[in-house]
Amino acid sequence: APVVSGTRGRGGWVRIAIDVRKLHDFGIGTYVRNLLKYLALLDQDTEYFPLCRPQDAEALAALGPNFKPVPVASKPYSVSEQIVLPARLVPRRVDLLHEPHYVLPPLVPCRAVVTVHDCIHLMFPQYLPNRMAYAYARGSLWAATRRAERIFTVSETSKADILRYCDVPADRIVVVYNAIDDRFSVAPSDEAIRRARERYQLDGPFALYVGNIKPHKNIERLIDAFALVRRDGFERIELLIIGDRISKFPRLRRAVDRHKLHKHVRFLGFVPDDTLAALYRLATLFVFPSLYEGFGLPPLEAMASGTPVVTSNRSSLPEVVGDAAVLVDPYSAPSIAEGIRRVLADASLRRALSERGLARARQFSWEASVRRVHDVYMDVASGRPPAS
């Protein structure tokens, strides 16, 4: 990819710190990994200081000579990070800090940008453990958005949510869409698909869900809908749920028990990336009935894999999938069931969704998104005001 130009800071080329301690997480981790990957490809002038877990420093240094990892032992959302992160920036004369989540320490000694992926904790406070957690989330979001020179977010829906909860000018919020990892746009080998099919004994049709199983993901209602689908003549269909341990949410096990679906609903937990890519392509359909998403990467990953998608008609999901998915009311198990039935019963619809999904997924590009982020870095580092 053609490189982009840096700009001059107070010590020569601009010095930018990026908090990458969530490098291996789902969601934010995908964002951070691709941000680093494409910054390394696009910009060899700017000095980057990834604030990282000590065990990640060696791998991050391999990104290029202009990447100089800064090990930080403090965990995200800890009290100690409020002091440790600013202290790491001062001796390196950093011009700009990018926090890829909504915690921005008030003592940061330079300009800052922040990414707010969603407002889930404010929109669904009932899912937080206590009122203190809600106060922390609201206070941190308010402080970060007030302090930051620019606020990145990942959809127009999330921008509207930030404006609803935070008193900030709209022109300081920059929408930069997520995209998918390359591994989902390249077909796995026949051998990888064969291994996944044999390991999980996938001899018949199955619906796939990928993501965590926190309450707003709506998995209990998905299980209710799946029971309706099976009662309506689709007895061979299975449901595979990937991405979390069911032991953390006993209500889901009770839902499976209630519908006597022990042999037909399978919680696989986390799987390796190559296995996940194979499962996307083996699935008859992908179903994602989330109540709220700032962006919603899994439906896009499924579409890039050529898999028909059924997803919610709420929050950012219609914005992301466009006309390439069947949209359902996530608050209605019969609506979710009807969307699944439509895809299972209609081969021509499955083909159309597959074709439209592949085309839609190609419209999202990490390279284009990171170029936009880089442009904003340079604007902020140079003191340029937001574009109107």
Stretch (H or E) spanning 195: helix 190-199
Stretch (H or E) spanning 369: helix 366-381
| pLDDT over threshold 70, residue 171 | yes
| pLDDT over threshold 50, residue 385 | yes
With cut-offs at 50, 70 and 90, classify the pLDDT of residue 302: very high
314, 273, 279, 38: CA torsion to nearest 10: 50
In this prediction the pTM is 0.91
Q: Which position has the higher pLDDT, 61 or 271?
A: 61
Closest CA to 318 of 293, 342, 340: 293
Those residues whose C-beta lies under 8 Å from the C-beta of residue 223, and which sit 6 or more positions away, are 239, 252, 255, 256, 259, 261, 265
d(CA 111, CA 157) in angstroms, rounded, equals: 26
Q: Tokens for 45?
A: 């002038």
Closest CA to 279 of 245, 241, 244: 241
Q: What number of other Cβ atoms are within 10 A of residue 294's Cβ?
A: 23
CB 211 within 8 A of CB 320: no
d(CA 178, CA 244) in angstroms, rounded, equals: 22
The mean of the pLDDT values for the chain is 92
pLDDT 10s digits, 3-19: 565 555 444 479 999 99
pLDDT 10s digits, 73-97: 999 888 899 999 999 999 999 999 9
pLDDT 10s digits, 10-50: 444 799 999 999 998 878 898 999 999 999 999 999 999 99
